[in-house]
Structure 1
Amino acid sequence: MLWFKNAFSAVIGFLRRADAGGTQNEVSKRRIMLFWGMLFLLLAALFGRISWLMFWSAGDLVSKSNDRILRTATELQERGVIYDRNGEMLAHSVPMRAVVIHAKSFHDYHENRKLDKEATIKELCELLRADCQSLSKKLREPRNRHVTVARQVDPQLADYIKSLKIDGVYVNPELRRYYPTAERNAHIIGMTNIDGAGIEGLERQYNDYLLSSPGKVRRIKDSRGNVIENLGVVKEGKEANDLVLSIDERLQSVAYKTLKYHAEINKATSASLVLIDAWTGEILSMVNYPSYNPNSRESYAPYRARNRAVTDTYEPGSTTKPLVAVIALGKGVTTWNEVFDTLPFQVQGKQIKDSHYMASGNLFEILKYSSNVGMARIALRMDPRDIVKGLESFGYGSRTNIEFSGENTGRLPHRKRWSNIEKATLGYGYGITVTPLQVAQAYSVLANHGIKKPLSILKVDKAPEGVRVAREKDVDLVLKSLEAVVEGGGTGTQAMITGYRVGGKTGTAKVAVAGGYGNDYVGTFAGIAPMSNPRFALVVVINEPHAGKFYGGAVAGPVFSDVMKRCLELYNIPPDDLNPDGTLKTPAQKKKDIANKKRH
């Protein structure tokens, strides 16, 4: 030690000066005594210093040493995988890197080696496509100890940067969320931000469930940040949870492709589709157009990111007629065989008429040919509060139990006084607003013969118990009329599926604007299949088509046909329109069968 060497030299110098006077013997004795005396003092001082360091300053020294080599590292926060009902990955995390500069180490490295710092910054910026001017400015600011150059960097590029061995430049691990199905499931799954927190869709709704709770690990690191030894776990973390959806990606792919095609050829501003397994309440498919790619932030825009199936409302029009019919039958205000005058008539100065001429008809024919006049006459007989209450039991006017972010309740009128025109139009779906999801839920109740089951976006292991909201015999009579809408020459013939009995209802409603209604329409088809054993409910909404066609049967019916056909095939539903020899019945044979059923 330097202080000991200096002290020893001082002692020797002192002894030499002592030799200047006195006899030789006296000098020798004095020299020896002084030498051993000084040596004793030196050893005592050394022992005292060692004792001080060992016993009184040990804690402080160990702490300073640990500050240089020991680190408590927080484990990378992981995020669970999102699967479809068949185990296909819809969202998972992939390893990426973040490039960070420790400003002081970076500056010292270049100054000690007399290297061009700006050239290094330029090279890093070119590799990482970063802003050189901004990075240089941040590195010059004294308060910036760590400066992030780039995040979500490809691991191979990050490894190359690490191989350059530039002091102060570090590569840290991080994760990036990846969505293999891109825009097909964007509105359901949503996306995360750059820090891995959910900001849209189910990623946001189940954010805490999907995220892990990171643990803490104690490690020894060298001056370059390399791990020398793991000392153990300081805090245990919680593993991330996976999410299994009710969505069937096979159907989702067909549904999105079909909906997008028909929305574009009809020049629609937007479109939505919802498919429900009525037996379990599971949502098998939910798609919207337009959509966005959550893997590419450039395609993100608020109007594209909206899950229109749950956030957008519209007047459902004629798709409400079967529900009102069930309510009317349940209240006993009409019978299945009663014949109504369906010629145009006026209510409070406003004319109610049909798009298809019809002089008279019973409830079966009113639904088959979608008569506004017939339904208005039925509604005028009823207490409108009974209609509203009945629609509420089908799910209108309230959120579903799924609790989607931004889900709209729609609107049902609750008035003390009703005008006759308000009563009349309520019978054919005007004066109320609903979401496509609510319509799909209502038709799943019809498919279940009047039993309402809770909806689920997560896969269920066991079908939940339902609640009866309508009499089975009333619903079954209405189901017969819905089949005639498609296959009996009604308004929904374009929804027909070869080999299967299907039923449904068209809806064509004007778009409400300030002060009344505009010139645009919403075309809807809501249907059920197979009618021999109803299971699936599918709703298609085409909003504001501008290519010439706007009726629900024309713009939404073909979408229903294509998607429902694929659904029945994937779920191995056997065709039910078969002749005894196993061949499919022709349209003429099917019409004859329906006519025979009607007579009997």
Structure 2
Amino acid sequence: MKRNNPKPKQGAIIRWRYLLVCATVFAVFATLVARAAYIQVIEPDFAVSESDKRTVRVEKVNVQRGLILDRHGNELAISVPVVSVYGDPKQLDKALTAKAYSLTRKHARENQLDLKQAVAALDKDPARLAQQKEEIYNSDSRWQDLAEVLRLQKPLVDGKLTSDSSRRFVYLKRQVTPPVARYISELKLPGIYLLDESKRFYPAGEVTAHVLGFTNIDGEGIEGIEKLYNEALTGEAGKRTIRKDAQGREIEILDERARIEPENIQLSIDQRIQSLAYRSLKSAVLSYKATSGSAMVVDVHTGEVLAMVNSPSFNPNNLKNAAPHKRRNRAITDLFEPGSTMKPISVLAGLEYGTIDHDSVIKTKGWMRVGGSIVTDGKNNGPMDLRTILQKSSNVGVSKIAQTMPKQDFIGFFQRLGFGEETGTGMVGESDGLFTPHGRWSDFEVATLSYGYRISVSTAQMARAYAAIGSGGINRPLTILKQNGKVHGERVFEKRNAYAVLEMMESVFERGGTATRVKLDGYRVGGKTGTSKKAAFGGYGDEYVGYFAGIAPVSDPRLAVVVMINEPAGDVYYGGDVAGPAFSEIMSGSLRILNVAPDLEAVAQLNQRRDYVTY
């Protein structure tokens, strides 16, 4: 007997499906609520961060590097706006990918192929996609134009832009000119952008190069004043944190920090005197085929450095030919035995300690034995007063003066003048010199110290010592910054002794002196020549250093000038010959620039005396 299975009722099926749909909807709803609760309550930071990634932008408010000015406010270093070119490899890769798919769709439509299948085939074949992107990139002549205008090899540009598509920033060329930037903008290349930056420019070029130093391509000070005051010159960029909508419109300012303006640094340098000193020094170095030279001009009343120059120099605006030996600030780094320029200080030491007086006469016979060694003069000058000792530059005369004093008192006098320590400028790379006041000194070593050996000093240290004489015995640290008030110093010897020696130093310009051919140009000048052999392995070699140091005007001292010429070639190497002309140009020119009146009455009296030679 055949049995029939009963069919389920239609209403029961509908009810079962209804319950299933309700359960599914409820489960989905519960899941969404749970997820929303998790995101908003348990892990709210994630949602906030994701939102911020899409809407929050941080804008940098750039700040220009501060100015460096001379004492009169003339600009020595400025920042000029420039443009740098950079690429976004990821953005470029995205553009090339979009172009590849666009060409694939176009090809499918032109050949009546299935569009979806063509796109899917490209998705499944990364090698083919990469090949198409490379072909698209190489077929675009604008990339060759970009390489040419940047003066770069195209393979170099290609490597930076296509070697790593995950990178977001790569420099192509820093600090290009405005016309180049405009041309690149007109090319409208994908992933290529322009960035506003600034570049340091030095109007005086090589004239102030050693004082100012220079910055690297990122605007950080590397040498000189740029490095010494890098933090003050840099300032701090501002920052604005804003929120934008989908159309890129600013809708909210979340945070705003004002930029910190940089400081402007005003130097003690007088650009007019700096240019004069550099021109005179460079001419002397070239004329005598010297290896190098340096010169300094110091205000004796304040210790301000009005000029600090070196030769050879370099162009800080173009460092391609700036070899390391050209970049060295020799005025503060290079050390030499100063020779006879130390003799006025030795005479001053004897006067200060009372072992001699202004009218003392020193008996000499052209040579003397000291501790088993011989000190000699060029010839036997017989008995000499202090003025004649400086005029004739007598080694024996100053050695005998040194012998009248206790060793440590004589050596300590040099120490009090600042030898063996920095001058106070604070400049990067300044040397302390070579001087050991607390060492064991033999009698002969003390004698050699009196005429400028057994001690090595920089041009800056010698300028500081002569400035102390010009100031009447006040030893002030040198400064490269302009001083607006009175500058205090330490009195190291009496004013009357300082001015007495200064007047004695005029004798070097008299007939029979060591600088008779140096022009005076209406000013009374107290100066001293110096010529020293350069130390070599085992003793002294055949190379010389020529010095000329002096103070003017004698009647009312204002400036101390020191000129050093290193290793002049040929038979002319004495300080009066190689450094004297530059000294004369710098001193007389600087005094005229500062409107210092000549010592007219004194010059008239000097011209009436036949034993003086003026030019």
TM norm. shorter chain > 0.5: yes
Q: Which of these residues, 336, 339, 343, is aligned with residue 314 of structure 1?
A: 336
1:92 correspondence with 2:78:
yes
Match of 2:607 in 1: 588
- The equivalent residue for 1:523 is 546
| 2:69/2:75 contact within 8 Å kept | yes
- SS of corresponding position for 2:218: coil
Pair 1:170-2:188 in alignment: no
- Partner deviation per Cα, 1:473-531 (whole Å, 9 max, x = no partner): 21121111111222465212333322111111111111111111111111101001111
Q: 1:416 to 1:574 in 2, by over 3 A?
A: closer
User: How does 1:133-152 map onto structure 2 within 5 Å?
Assistant: 133-138=155-160, 139-152=162-175
The runs of at least 4 consecutive aligned structure 1 residues that moved more than 4 Å come to 41-63, 219-224, 226-230, 590-594
Query: In structure 1, how many angstroms separate the alpha carbons of the residues matched to 2:56 and 2:152?
Result: 33
Matches within 5 A, 1:208-357: 208-219=231-242, 231=253, 233-347=255-369, 348=371, 350-355=373-378, 357=380
Post-superposition offset of 1:571: 1.1
TM-score for the superposition, normalised by structure 1:
0.86
What is the alpha-carbon distance in structure 2 between the residues aligned to residue 143 and residue 232 of structure 1? 30
Q: Is the 8 A contact 1:73 1:218 kept in 2?
A: yes
1:376-402 Cα deviation digits (max 9, x unpaired) = 122223222212210111111111222
What is the one-letter code of the residue matched to 2:281?
Answer: L
| Aligned equivalents of 2:332, 2:562: Cα separation in 1 | 13
Q: Counterpart of 1:588 in structure 2: which amino acid?
A: N
Q: Structure 1 residues 372, 456: closer, same or farther in 2, change over 3 A?
A: same
CA contact (8 A) 1:487 1:496 kept: no
**Alpha-carbon distance in 2 for matches of 1:127, 1:167:** 17
1:340, distance to aligned residue in structure 2 (A): 1.9
- Residue 137 of structure 2 corresponds to which residue in structure 1? 117
How far residue 568 of structure 1 moved from its aligned partner, in angstroms, is: 1.0
CA distance in 2, matches of 1:494, 1:464: 36
Equivalent in the alignment of 2:150: 128
Instruction: Kindly indicate whether the alpha-carbon contact (under 8 Å) linking 1:265 and 1:547 is maintained by their aligned counterparts in 2.
Output: no
Deviates more, 1:203-212 or 1:482-491: 482-491
Per the TM alignment, residue 160 of structure 1 is displaced from its structure 2 partner at its CA by 2.4
Change (3 A) 1:418 1:453: closer
2:462 aligns to what?
439
Following TM superposition, by how much is the alpha carbon of 1:334 offset from its aligned partner in structure 2, in angstroms? 1.8
CA distance in 1, matches of 2:277, 2:316: 19
Measure the CA separation in 2 of the matches of 1:156 and 1:220.
34
Q: In structure 2, what is the Cα distance between the partners aligned to 1:239 and 1:416? A: 50
Residue segments in structure 1 that go unaligned for 5+ positions in a row: 1-20, 595-600
User: Is 412-421 or 442-451 further displaced after alignment?
Assistant: 412-421
Count, aligned residues? 563
SS of the equivalent of 2:210 reads helix
Distance 1:590 1:441, change over 3 A: farther
Letter in 1 for 2:65: R
Which residue of 1 is the match for residue 204 of structure 2? Answer: 181
Q: Which position in structure 2 is the counterpart of 1:389? A: 412
Q: Which amino acid counterpart does residue 321 of structure 2 have in structure 1? A: S
SS at match of 1:129: coil
Deviation of the 1:66 alpha carbon? 3.7
Change in Cα spacing, 1:593 to 1:199, as seen in structure 2 (3 Å) is closer
Contact 2:89 2:164 in 1 (8 A): no
Residue 541 of structure 1: which of 564, 568, 574 is its match?
A: 564
Shift, 1:537, TM fit: 0.3
Q: Take 1:148 and 1:191, find their aligned partners in 2: how far apart are those partners?
A: 22
The answer (yes or no) to whether the contact 1:454–1:466 under 8 Å persists in 2 is yes
1:141 offset after TM fit, Å? 2.5
How large is the RMSD of aligned CA atoms in angstroms?
3.3
Q: What's 2:109 paired with?
A: none
Q: Deviations over 1:43-74 (max 9, x none)?
A: 99899979987996698666435423432123
456 and 590 in structure 1: CA distance in 2 versus 1, 3 angstrom threshold? farther
Instruction: Decide which of 32, 47, 56 is 1:70's aligned counterpart.
Output: 56
Where structure 2 has 5 or more consecutive residues not aligned to the other structure, the ranges are 1-8, 101-134
Amino acid at match of 2:536: V
Q: Report the Cα distance in structure 2 between the residues aligned to 1:169 and 1:352, rounded to whole angstroms.
A: 75
107-116 or 194-203, larger mean C-alpha shift: 107-116
Of 258-267 and 74-83, the range deviating more from structure 2: 74-83
Question: How far 1:100 sits from its partner (Å)?
Answer: 1.3
Q: Structure 1: how far apart are the matches of 2:601 and 2:264? A: 44
- What SS class does the counterpart of residue 600 from structure 2 fall into? coil
- Once the 2 structures are TM-superposed, how far is the Cα of residue 294 of structure 1 from its aligned partner? 0.9
Contact 1:218 1:232 in 2 (8 A): yes
Identity of matched residues, %: 39
Q: 2:113 — aligned with what?
A: none
Moved more, 247-256 or 99-108: 99-108
Which AA in structure 2 matches 1:251? Answer: I
> Secondary structure of 1:136's partner?
helix
When normalised by structure 2's length, the TM-score is: 0.84
C-alpha offsets along residues 73-109 of structure 1, whole Å, 9 cap, x if unaligned? 2333531110000111111111112211111211222
Partner secondary structure for residue 457 of structure 1: coil
Amino acid aligned to 2:481: L
